[in-house]
Structure 1
Amino acid sequence: MIGDSEFDRDTAVTRREPGVYDIDLCAGWTIINAVNGGYLLAVLGRALADTLPHPDPFTVSAHYLTASQPGPAVVRTETVRTGRTLSTGQASLLQYDEEGNEVERIRVLASYGDLSALPDDVRTTAVPPAVPPIEQCFGPDDSPAPVPGSSAITDRLMLKLDPATLGWALGAPSGKGEMRAWFGLADGRDADPLSLLLAVDALPPTAFEIGLKGWVPTVELTVHVRHRPAPGPLRVSITTRNLAGGFLEEDAEVWDSEDRLVAQSRQLARVRLG
């Protein structure tokens, strides 16, 4: 069921016919003048949830082909396979160039299931990230200077970053390639599996803490949703271990208020060197 929060309204798609959806990509989800990749993934995720018989994204893999712009877009979906536990589909988001030709922005392959039907057995060595209490962390409003370029998305989020990963904002990046934060939606909407697709790609890029600046466009992003999150703010931890040839990986973990690992992701991103 789609609610009336800002996130719900701005990711809502209108079914034109089976497998074809219309949406107006909202400029409120841009960062450095580009539509955020996590927001776009949530848009595609909502269309796939309408197409497939299962409700929840389990694994979503997206290739970002061209930069999306605010404005009209079309999502085309296709059911690849339907089973008892999982169903698989693919989706593409397209916009139009100045000549009216369709340009594919993103292509996704995803498997959906029912998170509420999973067994409770958890065996893990993963531990929640050590993030200071939320009142000891800092958000965009605390920054001495705004991030260069448009940062409209920060008004839609409750984002409080761990001071240990904020050296870049003070001109002294740590060089560690780490970013940690408390995360939520600014209007208080509780997290759900769809908003986890946004959470994994909503923090400042780890490239900032490596000492790089500017846009870090996503090439490919894969998200695994592991559990339906409990109410309350999420903790997001992102790390980069290897930057080579102008590309880096970002590994993200998302933990809920009950110390459960609710989502994991890995993305390959491009950086501008020099």
Structure 2
Amino acid sequence: MAYATARAAIGDSEFDRDTAVVARPGEPGTYDSELSAGWTIIRAVNGGYLLAVVGRALRAALPHPDPITITAHYLTASEPGPAVIRTETVRAGRTMSTGQASLFQRDEEGREVERIRVVAGYGDLAALPDDVRTSATPPSMPSYEDCVSSSDAPAGGPVTGSTAILDRLDLRLDLATAGWAVGAPSGAGDMRGWLGLADGRDHDAVSMLLAVDALPPTAFDLGLAGWVPTVELTVHLRCQPAPGPVRVALRTRNLAGGLLEEDAEVWDSKDRLVAQSRQLARAPRP
């Protein structure tokens, strides 16, 4: 399988630098971050990237290393620039700890505005039992080499505005779910693809928070164009991903009242279901 030739290490990659948080002296549980413009789509910072930033702050604040379950409510659109994350340890147990966090930015008048509020349960993915009983199966899709990359996309399409995030991803879409790029959406509400990071960094638990929200929205496959802002996103991590790109499958079954859900599954190179998520988002407005 061909893959990104550069091999950035976990902990020393663009993703790690751009999601870094720094503890604020004298304010326990408070962390500063700089939201990068490199992870924007259309006119806002990507929601999965934001969740990864907050996830790092909670990892630093809690005694356990990995988000097992994490739920975010997106209150206002985040912008590139300085941000502060304030965390609180709700409970610290033997195998799992629970925390909450909010990310704030300053508006044009200098007032602090809450962008995202998160509640999460952290544990140790490496310590989980290895007993697996599942009826879930990996998505049926072409090989990495037979999927299409963003560089293959024609000019135009439903995305107007920033596509900076695509330069940071090694994304290969299943052609059956990419018809929207040439004006021929399937109408099924599906999106599938292989996902890696452009510098070759392997995935870990934190990058899974990005992975569930990194593909084009299923709204495009429904024939809708424009920004699809996230209202709420819940992610469950099931195990640490094996090296290599992951397969991500998104599906929407119901669009009503201007809102749609996206159910995501992420499968690693060992055919393991490593992450699941459900997102509620606003459908693009005409």
What is the TM-score with the length of structure 2 in the denominator?
0.94
Q: Return the letter of the residue paired with 1:103.
A: V
- Tell me whether 130-139 or 194-203 shows the greater mean CA deviation: 130-139
SS where residue 126 of structure 1 aligns? coil
Q: Return the letter of the residue paired with 1:202.
A: A
Provide the residue aligned with 2:272 in structure 1.
260
Provide the residue aligned with 1:43 in structure 2.
53
Provide the residue aligned with 2:38 in structure 1.
28
1:239 equivalent to 2:251? Answer yes
Contact 1:223 1:264 in 2 (8 A): yes
Contact 2:10 2:201 in 1 (8 A): no
Contact 2:231 2:279 in 1 (8 A): yes
SS where residue 49 of structure 1 aligns? helix
Q: Return the letter of the residue paired with 2:192.
A: R
Contact 1:33 1:151 in 2 (8 A): no
Q: Return the letter of the residue paired with 2:18.
A: D
SS where residue 173 of structure 1 aligns? coil
1:14 equivalent to 2:26? Answer no
Runs of 4+ deviating beyond 4 Å: none
What does the per-residue CA deviation read over 1:122-175, in whole Å, with 9 as the maximum and x for residues that have no partner?
Answer: 000000001101111111100011532110000000000000001100101100
Provide the residue aligned with 1:175 in structure 2.
187
CA-CA distance at 1:191 after TM superposition? 0.3
Contact 2:265 2:275 in 1 (8 A): yes
Seen in structure 2, the aligned counterparts of structure 1 residues 31 and 9 have a Cα distance that, compared at 3 Å, is same
Contact 1:29 1:39 in 2 (8 A): yes
Gaps of 5+ in 1: none
For 2:59 and 2:51, how far apart are their aligned partners in 1?
A: 12
CA-CA distance at 1:56 after TM superposition? 0.4
Q: Return the letter of the residue paired with 2:280.
A: L
1:53 equivalent to 2:60? Answer no
1:117 equivalent to 2:127? Answer yes
Q: Percent identity?
A: 74
- Tell me whether 141-150 or 162-171 shows the greater mean CA deviation: 141-150
Contact 2:153 2:181 in 1 (8 A): yes
Q: Return the letter of the residue paired with 2:30.
A: V
- How many residue pairs get aligned? The number is 274
Gaps of 5+ in 2: 1-8
For 1:8 and 1:2, how far apart are their aligned partners in 2?
A: 7
SS where residue 267 of structure 1 aligns? strand
Describe how 1:200-211 pairs up with structure 2 within 5 A.
200-211=212-223
Provide the residue aligned with 1:138 in structure 2.
148
Seen in structure 2, the aligned counterparts of structure 1 residues 273 and 24 have a Cα distance that, compared at 3 Å, is closer
For 2:109 and 2:219, how far apart are their aligned partners in 1?
A: 36
Q: Return the letter of the residue paired with 1:11.
A: T
Provide the residue aligned with 1:248 in structure 2.
260
SS where residue 252 of structure 1 aligns? strand
SS where residue 88 of structure 1 aligns? strand
- Tell me whether 41-50 or 135-144 shows the greater mean CA deviation: 135-144
Q: Return the letter of the residue paired with 1:127.
A: T
CA-CA distance at 1:273 after TM superposition? 4.1
- Tell me whether 171-180 or 16-25 shows the greater mean CA deviation: 16-25
SS where residue 70 of structure 2 aligns? strand
